[in-house]
Structure 1
Amino acid sequence: MTSAAPSSSGSRTFILIAALVAVLLVGAAGGMLINSARSGADDAFPSAESVDVGFAHDMRVHHLQAVTMAGIERDKTADPVLRGFAFDVESTQLAQSSEMAGWLTVWGHPQLPEAGAPYMQWMSENGTHTHSNGEGGTTTGPVQRMPGMATTEELNKLRTLTGKELDVFFLQLMLRHHVGGLEMAQYAADHAAKGYVRNLADKIVQSQESETNLMKSYLAERGAQPLPFP
């Protein structure tokens, strides 16, 4: 079971420390990548159209929304178990997002996709790979909304809730979010060119599958059901 996090002010301190550590780790990772490339141990950095860059861009967007939702729950919940769970999600996905930002910087790409650009183009494989379209169906091309992403209205609603209603809605949104991200992470784990990208993608799959099962049990304990997956 996830342990309870410290008080709200203490949690903020720990999150700041985690962010600083993540930045240091990203810097160290970037240095290792550059040295590896210079020594010939690594191939040319991936192109903008690659699975590696596409995954890093899209998963950063996906992760950063999870960080936002987890921060809301951590600050507002009165449930120590869910405060601890939210803290774990927030700190883990912040660190992973920072790692991906480090890759993108070293590779010479922006840290986020271009505004208005479609998502999941990197999963299209010339129109032969079928994946979720984020709207309840499937497609072989790019999408405008990644699977599992909360809407602006849902995020605004989460901010207004308190008590059990807050906890249940947070779990429902985060569960749907985790399930939506699994498809992208698994594809990157199978198809990315760089071993370190495949490794992180595989870690995301494993951790989010575990957390998905945990959230289902938390919802059941509170007499609630998951949201339909769009």
Structure 2
Amino acid sequence: MSPSRNRRTRWVAGSAVALALLFAGAATVASARGEAEAPGPRTPSARSADAGFARDMAVHHQQAVEMSFVVRDATGDEDVRRLAYDIANTQANQRGMLLGWLDLWELPKTAPEGQGPMAWMPDGGHSGHSGHAMQGMEGMDHDGALMPGMATRTELDRLRAARGKPAEVLFLQLMTDHHKGGVAMARGCAERCTVPVERRLAQGMVEAQQSELDLMADMLAARGAAPRP
């Protein structure tokens, strides 16, 4: 990787973490103060977009953390390992916040009876997605891909078995799909959630993950590969 691309890798990855931590800090302070800047219920209901996003994004983030730890141990490439660390650190922190809000609202971490993943978004989040970003979302056998962009169990097994450059490419492709799905979910919350601090966190996710998508496209190109169609 060229020195200029290496510098960009470090700058974008570091900026994404800084942005995420900035939003996390603001969200924590706002939650502690019981901020209520916009009309709507002070405590969301279990079937609200606020609760649905918190539940679903916590699951979505957990898979990103898992994939990041897998590739960290599968390659010695410092740029990929650095990106994986930044993703794992950022998304683990955000996941803790989302689950903490559910506790604060005294809401369960599982969906209400009869409401599956992504029920809080129109069409279950199907609108505007194609290809691998929606893989496994339709039909009974989704192979573990519960939400937009999530890797299937088969794909996770392939990632665990891969080493070196093949592991790097597969991770970057899977995480690109994962981020595309995550961005769509975060935009949905930014539009539909009623808790201001949660909307701001969602918008921060959109901005940080868009930056990482650009970075991962460059990293794939440097390895003679490209995002999956």
Shorter-chain TM-score range = 0.7 to 0.9
Name the amino acid aligned to 1:84: R
Report if the CA contact (8 A) 2:62-2:91 is conserved: yes
Name the amino acid aligned to 1:72: V
Q: By how many angstroms is 1:136 displaced? A: 8.3
Name the amino acid aligned to 1:220: A
Report if the CA contact (8 A) 1:34-1:106 is conserved: no
Q: Please give the secondary structure, in 2, of the residue aligned with 1:190.
A: helix
Tell me which residue corresponds to 1:210: 211
Q: Would the alpha carbon gap of residues 137 and 171 (structure 1) be closer, same or farther in structure 2, given more than 3 Å must change?
A: same
Report if the CA contact (8 A) 1:33-1:106 is conserved: no
Counterpart check, 1:52 vs 2:50 = yes
Q: By how many angstroms is 1:110 displaced? A: 2.2
Distance in 1, matches of 2:152 and 2:174, equals 10
Which of the numbers 46, 66, 70 marks the counterpart of 2:64?
Answer: 66
Tell me which residue corresponds to 1:119: 117
Tell me which residue corresponds to 1:192: 193
Counterpart check, 1:145 vs 2:143 = no
Report if the CA contact (8 A) 1:36-1:42 is conserved: no
Distance in 1, matches of 2:58 and 2:220, equals 27
Distance in 2, matches of 1:42 and 1:33, equals 16
Q: By how many angstroms is 1:145 displaced? A: 2.9
Residue-pair matches, total: 199
Counterpart check, 1:155 vs 2:156 = yes
Q: Greater relative contact order: 1 or 2 (C-alpha under 8 angstroms, separation 6 or more)?
A: 2
Tell me which residue corresponds to 1:14: none
Tell me which residue corresponds to 1:223: 224
Q: Would the alpha carbon gap of residues 160 and 173 (structure 1) be closer, same or farther in structure 2, given more than 3 Å must change?
A: same
* TM-score normalised according to structure 2 size: 0.76
Tell me which residue corresponds to 2:85: 87
Which ranges in structure 1 are unaligned for 5 or more consecutive residues?
5-21, 139-143
The alignment-based identity, stated in percent, is: 42
* TM-score normalised according to structure 1 size: 0.75
* RMSD, matched Cα: 3.3
Distance in 2, matches of 1:86 and 1:150, equals 16
Distance in 1, matches of 2:110 and 2:102, equals 9
Distance in 1, matches of 2:186 and 2:206, equals 6
Distance in 2, matches of 1:113 and 1:149, equals 18
Q: Please give the secondary structure, in 2, of the residue aligned with 1:145.
A: coil
Report if the CA contact (8 A) 2:136-2:146 is conserved: no
Query: How do 1:22-61 residues align onto structure 2 when only pairs under 5 Å count?
Result: 29=28, 33=31, 36=34, 43-61=41-59
